[in-house]
A and B are shown apart, each in its own frame.
Chain A
């Protein structure tokens, strides 16, 4: 479909005899949260790596805003508008919360080759970083070192950094991981509002969150998409029950 913000077209990735992705075609449409679920080892991480640029598919292509980005590296895709959060927080642990958020704004601005002025003194970048921190509720922790933050706050900082990029599409790898019931509920509420800004490709194990948020769900098993549909369709699908939900229940 032409209006997809982010899409994969038949991407395939093999590691020796193991097929991690087989002919995966997905699309993320404006305004939606598209969840990708699947049992452990289904190839979700490999899929994300190919979408974000860490891995090159053996076949197929990735498109962002109608442009073929299969050959582009991670930083280039980020600058085109792909905002990603990691399953295991990837943050500059020795730096402050504000510095981490500022890094996002800095990367997005592309004005990194400045050697003398203070990064924290750049008002435009700083405003962008502080706004993002405010939105996820981390404003009062701006001066704290990331290593002193709790796990849940680090997850929020991940999201805040992605926000500073003002991305056209988000790719979130288990944003609920390790959050606990309360944190999970707040993150769910936040992502719910975020989809109007940019659609979210959401890889998540927390089924409550997935069923609460997703407009559409794709089920990945052994590297293949066995079903894509609305929450109701996926719940009703016999194949999905057998392959995945059945295991959990």
Chain B
């Protein structure tokens, strides 16, 4: 428990120190990398609530990431072309305000998670993985054929969206904004894991029969967790699209679902900072090895193999040991 707290603090300090150093030594690209890590971490924190606490192996979380991305892309593209969006006879103005975009991203991805969850949570195991994957592919192919918003080529946004009081185009400011969101969500995640809901969800994963016998409905618990999970990943999608000022069907791809899953496994499934540790390692490998060889995924695969074979609790588990008993097992 102690060691995990120290490790968590070290990861957070590194997340602040590296971009601060990069800012002082004028290395904006490093800040962009750190921002990328923070946003991927946020997406994975979302998935980790479903996967780690709830035990739902969703292989389609790119759906929510993509919905967040397209929420940003569509709203901002209408704003930059000064043409309102026509929807069911309603005329909706686009927007360049991040706050509005985030709200739309969160609400839409939560709704999608509700519908997908209602349909797929009837299944479990491999069938659940397959059905979530299938939903992911549906969204992917839909976005490819959606010519109004760039189809296969995606959508470019010229200027990053605005946030009151910040110049989001300055890398360190956008990084700070993303980090602040990640911290708030991590705080929420930590509280959630210890809350009555977290206790029940955690128990429903370990023994559904037990949960039912004390009057709890495992399906309802999982569905609510799935919606929260999707909403967080959706928010990450909006931030990711804004980081790149570009959104494309890749955000809906199964590879992206896989990457979010992989970085949780590398970091530590169900551990609070697992997704963050995983995202940092993932982005570092991607950058360092990606510069050496096009086939860097081979090394990522090797790292994943090592973790699965020798460090089942991921990096956090390797360093901090088993989770402490005091906090729903996820402290």
Contact = CB atoms under 8 A, between A and B. Distances in A.
Interface size of B as a range? 20 to 34
Interface string A85-123: 010001111111001101110111011111111111010
Given A117-B195, A119-B194, A103 B214 contact: yes
A75, A84, A103, A144 — most chain B CB neighbours (10 Å): A103
B200 A112 contact: yes
B288 to A, nearest CB: 35
B214 A165 contact: yes
A99 B323 CA distance: 14
Interface stretch (B1-9, B18-26, B104-112, B204-212): B204-212
Given A92-B206, A99-B328, A115 B214 contact: no
B196, B203, B216 — most chain A CB neighbours (10 Å): B196
Nearest to B210: A90
B289 interface: no
Contact of B215 (A78, A94, A120, A144): A78
B78 interface: no
B194 A75 contact: no
A96 B214 contact: no
Nearest to B329: A94
A104 B203 CA distance: 11
B229 interface: no
B195 A103 contact: no
Given A93-B206, A94-B206, A78 B212 contact: yes
Given A75-B216, A117-B196, A161-B214, A92 B202 contact: yes
A74 interface: yes
Interface in B142-194: 188, 191-192, 194
Chain B binding surface, main DSSP class:
helix
Interface string B311-331: 000000000000101101100
B212 A74 contact: yes
Interface in A33-86: 52-54, 73-76, 78-79, 83-84, 86
Contacts of B195: 114-119
Given A95-B328, A143-B325, A107 B199 contact: no
A112 B209 contact: no
Contact of B199 (A75, A102, A162): A102
B192 A112 contact: no
Contacts of A120: 194, 326
A145 interface: yes
Contacts of A76: 215
A114 B196 contact: yes
Nearest to B205: A92
A103 B207 CA distance: 12
A86 B191 contact: no
A81 to B, nearest CB: 10
A95 B206 contact: yes
Given A91-B207, A95-B328, A112-B221, A122 B196 contact: yes
A119 B221 CA distance: 15
A78 B213 contact: yes
Interface string B28-50: 00000000000000000000000
A125 B214 CA distance: 13
A106 B325 contact: no
B217 interface: yes
B210 A92 contact: yes
A112 B196 contact: yes
B206 A112 contact: no
Contacts of B215: 75-76, 78-79, 107-108, 110, 165
Interface of A: 52-54, 73-76, 78-79, 83-84, 86, 90-96, 99-100, 102-104, 106-108, 110-120, 122, 125, 143-145, 161-162, 164-165
Interface of B: 188, 191-192, 194-200, 202-203, 206-207, 209-217, 221, 224, 323, 325-326, 328-329
Given A95-B325, A119-B199, 5 more contacts: A84-B213, A95-B328, A99-B325, A103-B210, A145-B325
Lowest 3 CB-CB distances: which A-B pairs, in order? Answer: A107-B214, A78-B215, A107-B215
18 contacts: A73-B212, A75-B212, A75-B215, A75-B217, A83-B213, A90-B207, A95-B199, A95-B202, A95-B328, A99-B199, A103-B216, A106-B199, A107-B200, A113-B196, A113-B197, A114-B196, A115-B197, A119-B196
